[in-house]
A = this chain, B = another copy of it.
């Protein structure tokens, strides 16, 4: 695995940017897991507001940016890893199941109550990283 992806995998939450139908940006936090080099997340039972904008956006335009960030008040200890790539949506089948399994392994909340909704599968095209330790 790419070293930056390994660092990314160590964090609990990231941020997903997608493109709205009007061309503007849309941003949500998301828990995630890695399956090989892919980043996966799923629609779970946490409260939602209607049809999820992120899914509609990806269906219309699969280009996404995903960022994991470590913040500290010690500004010599900051880093981030960003993945630019393409997202696809899966609602059943082996790809969906692999993502759910990886999420259940990472989050005890999902072992107690697995997500049942759509999986977003992000295939990285470019991985960028930054660290204040330079």
Contacts and interface: CB of A to CB of B under 8 A. Distances in A.
Interface of A: 12-13, 15, 17-19, 23-29, 46-47, 49, 61, 63-67, 69, 71, 73, 75, 78, 80, 82, 84, 109, 130, 132, 134
Specify how many copies of this chain sit in the oligomer.
2
The A contact surface, by secondary structure, is: strand
A25 B67 CA distance: 11
Given A46-B75, A73-B12, A109-B75, A24 B19 contact: yes
Nearest to A19: B25
Contact of A19 (B23, B64, B75): B23
A18 B15 CA distance: 13
